A and B are shown apart, each in its own frame.
Chain A
């Protein structure tokens, strides 16, 4: 067991929610001992030991205390109870580009920001070119930051922060910003930190990232540690907490000897390559659904919905009657010619109904199956799609497995 670099022992953080808060001397005098306040414990009895070189994913519902914990660990907030011990040079990315001054140029802001993060001017000079090239801002480095796009701003912030060469990196959901190529770069940088033995604690809502990056997952809920251990279990624990549930498999359908959904696969709509689920607007997307059922099963229809937050369907596709082959198999391919110009994480829901009676035989839902990186967040959908019955392929991996296996 590596010796811990972060030790939080019995950490609690209480906030006072003031109904009427004395913010001036006058009020202070008048409201003396009259101001009512309510206690709110954002963190309660948090014990956490993070060893050197560990990468820990911190997840939890909104308001569970994740950001507060990061702030307490980076000594921005003082804990109300308990103690925090941190050994090593710490860099906390709670907000990228915090402290940038819009009037100054990118160059000047690099020096300013690096100094605030604890780098000497000489060290900054040494890293300067790396920072600029990492942020991909060579042509704009002498422009005022107020003229930067939000993407450029955030890239510069991240570039400076990661060049502070910390022993401990605390990251609060900052990876969600930036375009795909920059996100990839950020993840590569994190992998580089991991190899160097840097301790990383990061907050994310992208649950599929947790098993890919972390060696450990911590779930917070209402300020308490709910789970601390295996990252896959942590993600599952949070899913069940959020009520989104794990991928629901059609166990009931199998038992009742009815047709069921055997596998769902995502493809690039043009090249037919197995796709990991990240689509630009305008890209073609294909989904194949393998069905299985007892011989002589009546024709079925397959419905496929791409759903957004709160399970609102973004669009729904339905096939014509699908007949099963003599081996009891059938496959339907849905093709979306152009992925709509939307952004966000979408779920994929697949259902199979009896073509005549409309009785639902099986439903499967894949949360976070599709990451849409559109260039606009306009949600106007004009979707052209087809659904064709095709020959069942030799082998067919399932969408749930394909997502992780393609890496």
Chain B
């Protein structure tokens, strides 16, 4: 049984970002009977995230969410596009994670926006961020604008949701990347060897 955590970076309630996350979660469940999914809304953690930015450690509720995110077999990340990029709150959440928290983790990226003019924001902003984090991002990004929620666009959105979810499910069935966090100190790093032996 795999466990997927969906992170919704929407700030309003109800939010179209959350609706998109729910669609993706539903599709993942439909395509794999072997997956449990939980959804996290960053809006509820806004104060905790700010505190963690200022102190360097997370309050208990945020830490619990971080622990779930780090332990998840895969992530679904859904953000609204503000001013050509993801919201600052979402970036702050990423910033309070350890540098290697998402190493090797399969991730599905999705975004919502007012118009289709924002649709490449997934590839221009989210993908580089997750490349830096060394996550394994599925090929299909899912962008949904107002058009996609209407009658004309909804069929195409459903197809993209299923394709992206299918890619994530397929990754979960395999062995993943085989990479993850390294909790051990590297006793054989250059600086470590110098600390252990002045003549080295």
Q: Are these two chains actual partners, yes or no?
A: no
